Amino acid sequence: MAEIELHDPEELEEHKASPFTRRVALTTAIYAVFLAITALGGNNAMKEMLLAQQQSSDQWAFYQAKVIREHLYRSQKLRLELDLLEKEGLKPEVKKRYEALMEQMAKEEERFRAEKKDIEKDARKLERERDVNRNKDPYFDYAEVLLQIAIVASSIAILASSAPMYYFSMVCAGLGVLLSLNGFLLLVNIPFLH
């Protein structure tokens, strides 16, 4: 039968009761919570950026379709005007029909011109939303890295009972939290992060 080695209870109590270890372990758990929140913010910013880009592209395609229709009606109207000029001796009812068609083409041209303005506004709004989320993303990325480094450093601090490593982890986590907050709020623009 295999022998089982039991550890000295005093030795186990020493490791369990270390206030430094408990403090660092609790701090590490808090780092992990901030990391989770930061990762969620980064994922949401990326999703929102991609969605806004897709919607913006759709709006610009819709805008382009309206421009094509506007030009189609304009060319039809011009063609009708030219036809009317070429055919001088038309009966009054035919001439009225030409004029009614030209007026209808002009109204359609104007309608498409007005509709494309609204579409352009929507597309530009979506582009701004995309840009805001694109600007948020790097802050979340760097915050995640710093928080991960903080977790690793605090784990090393526990293993080595190293106060300097613990303080290093706190600095990394503090910077990570600040970058994460800036990712959510965009209070400060840090140019080298983009």
Q: Tell me, rounded to whole angstroms, the distance of Cα 101 from its chain centroid.
A: 47
Range of the domain at 43: 21-193
Q: Is residue 5 part of a domain?
A: no
Q: Is residue 15 part of a domain?
A: no
Q: Is residue 148 part of a domain?
A: yes
Q: Which amino acid is at 20?
A: F
* pLDDT score recorded for residue 62: 96
Per residue in 129-151, pLDDT tens? 999 999 999 999 999 999 999 99
- Mean pLDDT in consecutive groups of 10 residues from the start of the chain, 194 residues: 54 66 95 98 97 97 96 93 84 89 94 95 97 97 98 96 97 98 96 83
Of 73, 150, 137, 76, residue with least CA distance to 108: 73
Cβ neighbourhood burial of 86 (10 Å; 0-12, 13-18, 19+): exposed
Q: Is residue 78 part of a domain?
A: yes
Q: Is residue 85 part of a domain?
A: yes
Q: Is residue 9 part of a domain?
A: no
Asked whether 14 and 133 are in contact (CB, 8 A), the reply is: no
Q: Is residue 2 part of a domain?
A: no
Q: Tell me, rounded to whole angstroms, the distance of Cα 55 from its chain centroid.
A: 12
Q: How many CA atoms lie within 13 A of 130 on its CB side?
A: 14
Q: Tell me, rounded to whole angstroms, the distance of Cα 37 from its chain centroid.
A: 16
The number of domains in the chain is: 1
* pLDDT score recorded for residue 2: 46
Q: Is residue 110 part of a domain?
A: yes
CATH number for the domain harbouring residue 129 = 1.10.287
